[in-house]
Chain A
Amino acid sequence: MIPLSASAVGKQYRSRWAVRDCTFALPEGKVIALVGPNGAGKSTLLRMAAGLVRPTAGELRVFGTPVRGGTHPDVSFLAQDRPLYGHLTVREMVRVAAGMNDRWSAERVQEVLGLQAGVDQDAKIRTLSAGTRTQVAIALALGRLPRLLLLDEPLADLDPLARDETLRIIMAEVADRGTTVVMSSHLLADLREVCDHLLLVDDGRVQVDGDIEEVLARHRILVGPAADESAVEGTLVSATRTQRQATLLLKDSGPAPQGWSDAEPDLESLVMGYLRASRARTSAPRR
């Protein structure tokens, strides 16, 4: 069953479209990187999937059920600011969260809180470090025993150690329960190593959607004489040019013509190429 799919989803805030005409279907059991620059519409997409925000157009489905004004029982959502009641202790916070759920695994929560250095359950939430706070928030999210975990910028403002520990907790969840995870980040470097699937959004639209290996395999970077560009076959994604030399990111390209060097892009240059292309479209005068 498809954990999350969108068909022509759009969200308009006053005159601005935060998300436009997004269509995708995410694979089950994978770790999906939702990548895009700040303001690309990542949060809006996740909040719509969590049932917090209603789409202006189109429809999202979670495990086949349309999302309408509520969070699907099999979904856990972690907002970017990791909302928790600062004046409660960890223990009280866990009890509050348990009281708000029909299906709840106290053991799972304890298990996650015990990971890494372990969380002091009598500490007030507001005294916790960003990393520990994230651990508590994830523990609460996993207490719902989700099959789809939506994490909005889970690694933002974490130091490298906390970042590693947070990823470890999330990856352990994937290993233990086969949970589908969607993680957003404006930094590709955060997610590159741990994701199977890339959903690149910019300007409210899906730019790339696919298995990372497959996406990379379908693209080539060709470097060659600028005068000779017409010899190149394939869909041009973006290009950087000097007076003599052109560097082209191509999708489904044919064989490299004489005098051109040909390489598979790494994920970073692929993403940069697509973002550059989307920027060029945005800044170009419309109509």
Chain B
Amino acid sequence: MIWASFRLQRVQLLTLLGVLVVGGGALVLLRSSMVGAITSARLTECVERGGTACASVDQNAFLDDWSNLFQVARILIIVLPILIGVFVGAPLFAQELEHGTHVLAFTQSVSRTRWMLSKLVVALVPALVVVAVLQYLVWWWLTAAGTLGPRINGAWHPVNFGIDHVSPVAYTLFAFAVGAFVGVVARRTLVAMTAAFGVFVVARFALDGQVNRFVTPERRVAADGLTVDMRDGALSVGRGWLDAAGLEVPWDRAVSVSDACRTTSSAATQGQEEFLACMRESGLENRYSLVLPESSTWIAHLYDAAIFGGFAVLLLAGTVWALRRQS
């Protein structure tokens, strides 16, 4: 049965292997060549956040050479789950149902459940491994680039978030499960492929950033009264004013006071200090922001994986259920 499953998935498995070898090899080579470029351009310090004197000609030259490659690698990790859903998940059962070959399988001594599971395992596990390995290599490469690369935008940036931690594996599982499920219900490969693509894209857009609400924000107070330092990659999810006692001022009051302070002092000539002084007279002491620190992204990733993975498990259970009643 296992040999049968491997033989029937051969095209997909060989393609995945090809992607793994070519993609993995390219990523390893790119990383080592980039590390060389960073060293030879003496940009090593700029890799760490907060490195000094990095807005140089050398850095611009480096970015010209590498930023497109960074984009390609990130797009690969973003797109890979869709490709797996469309080309591995969708045809898995739909093709059998479309050609009637499931009847052959269902009338042999192997049980339907065992047939399904062996097909699922042989198709899904290699796909997940390929995604995990490539994602790790991209992460390894981008980490070496540090703030010279896309990391400068912080781990909360939607694209950075989408290619990090357990999220890509969960997305792959979800896309695969959508394809497999629709394939069993619709019994048409093309319908299943289209649905895997459409549902996955819609779900990703709809749920993008939604998991952030599961992370408890921290309050960060402006050091100079007005500007909150966000350069460490934290994500701002709200802001407002604090009074002298350090309590949050209701938003509408803060707005009316700040409006009043802006109009009383005559426009352009007014400096920041005057404005701040005006605010403080009304008891609004300091600006603050609610931020999600970069170090908390893992919590959001876990929720992300739980949501996509949970839907995937439901869909796979639905697939098994629908196949068991299939005639």
- Interface residues of chain A, those whose CB is within 8 Å of chain B, are 47, 50-54, 69-71, 73, 75-77, 79, 81, 83-86, 88, 92, 95-97, 99-103, 140, 144
Contacts and interface: CB of A to CB of B under 8 A. Distances in A.
Contact of B4 (A52, A81, A96, A140): A96
B106 interface: yes
Interface size bracket, B side: 20 to 34
B103 A79 contact: yes
A120 to B, nearest CB: 19
Contacts of A97: 104, 108
* For the complex of A and B, 9 pairs with smallest distance between CB atoms: A100-B108, A96-B4, A83-B100, A53-B327, A99-B4, A100-B110, A71-B107, A77-B107, A83-B104
Contact of A73 (B4, B8, B105, B109): B109
Interface string B95-127: 000011111111111111001000000000000
The binding surface of chain A is classed by DSSP as: loop
15 contacts: A52-B103, A52-B106, A54-B327, A70-B111, A71-B106, A73-B109, A79-B107, A83-B102, A96-B7, A97-B108, A99-B2, A99-B3, A100-B4, A100-B109, A100-B115
A101 to B, nearest CB: 5
Interface of B: 1-4, 7-8, 99-112, 115, 324, 327
Contacts of B2: 99
A86 B104 CA distance: 13
B107 A84 contact: no
A103 B1 contact: no
Given A77-B107, A144-B108, 4 more contacts: A52-B327, A95-B3, A96-B4, A96-B7
Question: Which of B2, B3, B104, B105 counts the most A-chain CB atoms under 10 A from its CB?
Answer: B104
Contacts of B105: 100
B101 A83 contact: yes
A47 B101 contact: no
B116 to A, nearest CB: 13
Contacts of A51: 106-107
Contacts of B99: 83, 85-86
A50 B4 contact: no
Contacts of B100: 79, 81, 83
B104 to A, nearest CB: 5
Nearest to A44: B327
Contacts of B8: 85, 96
A242 B115 CA distance: 61
Contacts of B324: 69
Nearest to A71: B107
A83 B102 CA distance: 8
A70 B324 CA distance: 10
A10 to B, nearest CB: 15
A83 B106 CA distance: 11
Nearest to A99: B4
A31 B217 CA distance: 78
In this complex, the member of B100, B103, B105, B111 whose beta carbon has the largest number of chain A beta carbons within 10 angstroms is B103
B98 to A, nearest CB: 11
B122 to A, nearest CB: 12
Contacts of A102: 109
Contacts of A75: 107
B103 A83 contact: yes
Contact of A76 (B4, B107, B112): B107
A46 to B, nearest CB: 11
A269 B293 CA distance: 88
Contact of A47 (B104, B109, B110, B327): B327
